[in-house]
Structure 1
Amino acid sequence: MPVVPPLGPDQRARAWAELAEQSFEVLVVGGGVTGAGVALDAATRGLRTALVEARDFASGTSSRSSKLFHGGLRYLESFDFGLVREALHERDLSVTRLAPHLVKPVPFLYPLTHHWERPYVTAGLTLYDGLARIGALSTPLPPQKQLTRTGARKLFPALKPDALVGAVRYYDAQADDARHTLTVARTAAAYGATVLNSAEVVAFHHAGGRVTGVRVRDVETGREVDVKAEVVVNATGVWTDDIQTLVGGRGRFHVRASKGVHIVVPRDRINGETGLILRTEKSVLFVIPWGSHWIVGTTDTDWTLDKAHPAASRADIDYILEHVNKVLTTELTHDDITGVYAGLRPLLAGESELTSQLSREHAVARPMPGVIAVAGGKYTTYRPMAADAVDAVAVDVTRPVPPSVTDNIPLAGAEGYAAMRNSLDALAERWGIPHFRAEHLLNRYGSLTPEVLSLAADDPALLAPVPGAEEYLMVELVYGAAHEGAQHLDDLLARRTRISIETPHRGVESAEPVARAVAGVLGWDEQRITNEVESYRARVDAERRSQEAADDRAADAVRVAAPDTRAVAVGRALV
């Protein structure tokens, strides 16, 4: 794999010069996992590629999912066998080849509430395992295992005895979605793509009935440049229709937003060794192990309000607590909650008014010459979505486009990961950190871990834990600013790390120490440090108050009143 370039201030300046001076074959709009995947796919096919994101990489849907790489067990009931098979293949591809440092197997229990369910659930999971084994790349994840009620409660003692008659254990996988998306974007940069966040498309240029480029505004400075491109790919998720309005003309499909809310609770609040999947009257509810925490969710409701900062209401949180408490011996309360986050699923609009019934298939369209739109799908299938989009690009590109090769392109940090894992003790000894710290870093950065730690060579104080968030080291935050494109404090606390949802103070206690640690990298003076800290605190306060609001409209009104670190025009103007 080529050298992974740092996404820091110097690279940012070069990237803006490249946008202004070069002509690109593919310009991708949207820095979520789909857009990052398109950029990687195009760059590895030899196309001159640029990626622009108005806010931060993964700042929308791609940092607010259930953090699972899974086949979508529930889609078997609607006979979406092709979708499930594709997702299972992508799950195993990431676990074994593309991102073994980021995507990890995780066991789940499927509790059975009636004896007659066992044959039905067993048949479904047998099919699930079988689809995963078709063309498997290596040893598949462990198969399902039948459990009695006693056996299930040994694995998950927190389950009420009367909540199940037995269970089936099966395996899926999980990843930190924001870190994975960022890694896809950095891998695209390693293969030559120009990658920028805080870069908002504000206009499209036309000539001869086709799109020939865009105008991009630097959200941080207000500077604007015109960018020439043979094809522009709209990979903006829930903003797909907004960007199409900016392009002009009618789109070939429409996207609806479905809000999914998750809560995060400390690991000791639930006594269990596996995840859980529970059926509700509307969808499914996951209880997912997440380091020293659990993630519990999700909801599935239509959302028509602010797309940049979807708000979780008290009703959302009460819904999650009500349903998970039906099966727990010790009920969770609002006081147990460490963090809450809400994300929007981009669903292709259909005939049904229920978002839970809309398709998770993806679609690719060419609404006019020079524009490709890709939307829908699910996080796990980002790579085939991207490949289909770049296949469609070939119509408008003036030279032959070779087939996709991303199924053989390990993400940054994957190559050498296994060897480094075997030398974990030596890595810990070299840097004078505990074994668990070295393992934590390796599972976030893979073989790039020495690059992260090297920032502490001249400043050993960076190997100290983050104040108020001791699971992370200060060097990780500095690395986020110097190598991972972070522009603001919330980029660091909400996406480069998960401090915003993993600490009771939601990052407030860490904000000023982190801001001061990265100030030298990002060129912040005292006033900028103060502004960043105050803005972050205001964000947390608004989120807390919105989560006490009774319904969506009340929660949205509270959340959008908080100051926004990025003054993005298009997302607000067209909502």
Structure 2
Amino acid sequence: MSKDALSPEYREDALAALRSTAEPGQQLDILIVGGGVVGAGAALDAVTRGLKVGMVEARDWASGTSSRSSKLIHGGLRYLEMLDFALVAEALKERGLLIQRIAPHLVKPVPFLYPLTHRFYERPYVGAGIMLYDTMGLTSGNSRGVPMHKHLSKKATLRAAPSLKDDAMVGSIRYYDAQVDDARYVANMVRTSAHYGATVANRVSVVDFLREGERVVGARVKDSETGREFDVFARQVVNATGVWTDETQAMVTDRGQLKVRASKGVHLVVPRDRIQSTVGMILRTEKSVLFVIPWGRHWIVGTTDTDWNLDKAHPAATSADIDYLLEHVNSVLKTPLTREDVEGVYAGLRPLLAGENDSTAKLSREHVVAHPVPGLVVVAGGKWTTYRVMAKDAVDEAARALDGKVPESCTSTIPLLGAVGYKAAWNLRHRTAEHYGVHVVRVEHLLNRYGSLANEVLELIRANPELGEPLPGADDYLRAEVVYATTSEGARHVEDVLARRTRISIESWDRGVSAAPVVAELMAPILNWSPERVEQEVAHYEARVEAERRSQEQPDDVSADAARLKAHDIAPLA
């Protein structure tokens, strides 16, 4: 096992280290609350400045918004139309950094078609915008990492995307953005933070903040696995809880609060053979834009953009949401998609800074950092692509209140674990396949998920060849990946593996139900589960899938929310 592994033993040591902050002289410099992309980014930013850092997450890493995005790393073409040039330029700079330096194994260029539907005036108008988009990427200070755009005739468009209706467009422009497995990226970044010395623990929730007068000096936390509570002391606390910002702020103060509105975004996953195309597509709708995104052996179709005021942990997709997406994508497809074509559905919540506008689609994606009371920094808003800038700004604000000079952020120069040596490992993939006696396609799959750490998974297979077998109902994933997720990536439950360390819950027809018993049996010896606990884990996962399916048959948010909440969260360990 790697010394950087987020193993069960690491978690026990991390909890002990967090408890020890109550001892004189042992307090953290910064405690980060929230283990999504911004919280994990802040942990990496702070620890690589030489600070003593802790991070806690109430559920699993990236279990909220950060694992339920459109999986895109993009500048945001529609923000150009809103004339938000600064936001686009910032995002394109980050896109270049992620592709070229920080995570080339996880962030990959992906081509899109922008269909043109009006003759004469639309091509120069849209073309000028995409030319500006590409130019801003070139001048961002990093190599852009993606090819330039290209104008396509109607005939060339149909060659690239034969599934498009002949009358759906008069031509198109092909341009590039990038995509990422969002949950895997966050887990990798958490592990990279631990590699540099951060103390991180998932399934640890904040039940209250510790105060000395007006100042926040730490947090009272609860280990959800055991039910035990203890205090964690820190000189500064960073609240990076996304759509839960209002609730966590309210534990401290009602003064000068940032207000966050949750906007629900629903995505569908369909098999790759249902849409014949070599490229993704971006389509205009009356409310926003619709993406059709290549995703391995699948397509992701999304997204919706509607207010959500119900349960934030388990946002539910309705039948109306699914119909909306199918109706809009079918408007351009020769062979319409049906409900039977949908393999997976997922819903996430965007944390938007509250504004006067009734439409969440028109709220800004800018982020804000505030210091509402001494000792507490709050970061909110923003978008997935610019997480690193949000994290930097939050740590900058916290650093200003620390004694002594804190170095500047250096995360623009720090690759995530698995990035260094990835390109060489990719070039060596045929030799690696021969060395381990596995098919080169399996090696490519592992390299695209683990980068240069793929050999650690292959070593598990060498030690136990049975781990080289695929999981039931999910041929893309190997049993070794379950073991690796549990020993090295902090997975604590079957749901963590099926929904986030892998994406089986949205990529398989049965949404992971047939894989769940095998996953539980593989996790059991590592986590010391009893046979009763194995049964409980499988039953919980099956109930989750059934509740999600029921919610997706409901006509509105209220009934969908009620259906989804019939499946309770996993109980604490006995």
Fold match, TM over 0.5? yes
Question: Aligned-pair distance for 1:184?
Answer: 1.0
Tell me how far apart the structure 1 counterparts of residues 51 and 531 of structure 2 sit (CA, whole Å). 43
1:32 counterpart residue number? 36
* Counterpart residue number, 2:294: 289
Match of 2:331 among 326, 335, 338: 326
Are 2:89 and 2:140, in contact at CA under 8 Å, matched by a contact in 1? no
Residue 514 of structure 2 is matched in structure 1 by 509
Alignment partner, residue 109 of structure 2: 105
1:374-413 → structure 2 map (5 Å cutoff): 374-413=379-418
**Residue 288 of structure 1: SS of its match in structure 2?**
strand
Q: Which residues in structure 2 correspond to 1:40-439 (within 5 Å)?
A: 40-115=44-119, 116-138=121-143, 140-439=145-444
Change in 2 beyond 3 A, CA 1:302/1:139: closer
Partners of 1:566 and 1:397 in 2: CA distance: 39
Q: Judge conservation of contact 1:4–1:187 (CA < 8 Å) in 2.
A: no
Whether the aligned pair in 1 keeps the contact of 2:99 and 2:145 (CA below 8 Å) is: no
Per-residue deviation, 1:139:
5.8
**Counterparts in 2 of 1:516-531, with a 5 A limit?**
516-531=521-536
Query: Structure 2 CA distance, aligned partners of 1:250 and 1:232?
Result: 17
Q: Which moved more, 1:325-334 or 1:204-213?
A: 204-213
User: What one-letter code is carried by the residue in structure 1 that aligns with 2:353?
Assistant: L
Kept in 2: contact 1:198–1:566 (CA 8 A): no
Equivalent residue, structure 1, for 2:16: 17
Deviations 1:311-361 (A, max 9, x none): 000000000000000000000000000000000000001111110010100
Per-residue deviation at 1:248? 2.7
- Quote the offset at 1:566 in angstroms: 5.6
Inter-partner Cα distance in structure 1 for 2:11 and 2:256: 32
- Contact 1:35–1:235 (8 Å) recurs in 2: yes
Alignment-mate amino acid for residue 149 of structure 2: Q
Distance change in 2, residues 1:139/1:564 (3 Å):
closer
Output the amino acid matched with 2:4.
P
Does the CA contact (< 8 Å) of 2:92 and 2:140 recur in 1?
no
Change (3 A) 1:284 1:139: closer
Q: Distance in 1 between matches of 2:254 and 2:302?
A: 38
Amino acid at match of 1:341: Y
Q: Is the Cα–Cα contact under 8 Å of residues 244 and 251 in structure 1 kept in the other structure?
A: no
**TM-superposed deviation, 1:137:** 2.3
Partner of 1:573: none
Structure 2 distance, partners of 1:400, 1:18, is: 25
- How far apart are residue 5 of structure 1 and its match? 1.3
Moved over 4 A (4+): none
Q: What is the CA distance between 1:518 and its match in structure 2? A: 1.3
Deviating more after overlay: 300-309 vs 140-149? 140-149
SS for the counterpart of 1:359 is: coil
* CA shift digits 1:99-139 (9 cap, x unpaired): 00000000000000101211110011011001001144236
How big is the shift at 1:473? Answer: 0.5
Judging changes above 3 Å, is the alpha-carbon distance between structure 1 residues 135 and 85 closer, same or farther for their aligned structure 2 residues?
closer
In 1: Cα distance, 2:104 partner to 2:320 partner: 37
Which string of whole-angstrom CA distances, capped at 9 and with x for unpartnered residues, describes residues 160-217 of structure 1?
A: 0101000000000001000011111111111100011000010111113200111110
- Cα deviation, residue 437, structure 1: 0.4
Separation in 2 of the partners of 1:136 and 1:153?
35
1:339–1:176 CA distance, 2 compared to 1 (3 A): same
State the alpha-carbon separation in 2 of the partners of residues 442 and 294 from structure 1: 21
CA contact (8 A) 1:55 1:566 kept: no
Deviation at 1:455, TM superposition (A): 2.0
Residues 159/26 of structure 1: CA separation in 2 closer, same or farther (3 Å cut): same
Per-residue Cα deviation, 1:254-300 (whole angstroms, up to 9, x for no partner): 10000000000000000000000000000000000000000000000
How high is the sequence identity, in percent, across the aligned residues? 60
d(CA) in 2 for partners of 1:224, 1:452: 35
| CA-CA distance at 1:399 after TM superposition | 2.2
Structure 2 counterpart SS, 1:173: strand
From 500, 504, 507, the equivalent of 2:505 is 500
Contact 2:100–2:145 (CA<8 Å) still a contact in 1?
A: no
Which secondary structure does the structure 1 equivalent of 2:462 belong to?
A: coil
2: CA distance, partners of 1:99 / 1:395: 29
Q: Distance in 2 between matches of 1:246 and 1:141?
A: 45
**SS class of match (2:283):** strand
**Partners of 1:85 and 1:192 in 2: CA distance:** 32
The AA in structure 2 aligned to 1:478 is V
> What amino acid sits opposite 2:65 in the alignment?
T
Distance 2:137 2:517 in 1: 47
Q: Is the CA contact 2:267–2:300 (under 8 Å) kept in the aligned structure 1? A: yes
Deviation by residue 1:43-65 (Cα, 9 ceiling, x = unmatched) = 00000001100000000000000
- Indicate the SS of the match to 1:295: strand
Q: What is the deviation of 1:234?
A: 0.4
TM-score by length of 2: 0.97
Post-superposition Cα deviations, 1:215-255, rounded to whole Å, max 9, x if no partner, equal 11000100111111001100000000000011233243210
Cα distance in 2, alignment partners of residues 567 and 385 from structure 1: 33
- Secondary structure of the residue aligned to 2:251 is helix
Residue 545 of structure 2 is aligned with which of 536, 540, 551? 540
The alpha-carbon deviation at position 140 of structure 1 amounts to 4.1
Give the whole-Å Cα distance in 1 for the aligned partners of 2:346 and 2:129: 31
Q: Residues of 2 paired with 1:272 and 1:35: CA distance?
A: 37
Q: Secondary structure at the match of 2:335?
A: coil
Aligned to 2:24: none
Alpha-carbon separation, structure 2, partners of 1:339 and 1:138: 35
Q: CA deviation at 1:451?
A: 1.3
**Alpha-carbon offset, residue 567 of structure 1:** 6.8
C-alpha separation between the residues in 1 aligned to 2:207 and 2:400? Answer: 25
| Unaligned ranges ≥5, structure 1 | 569-575
Offset at 1:15? 0.4
> Could you state the TM-score of these two structures normalised by the residue count of structure 1?
0.97
Matched letter for residue 15 of structure 1: A
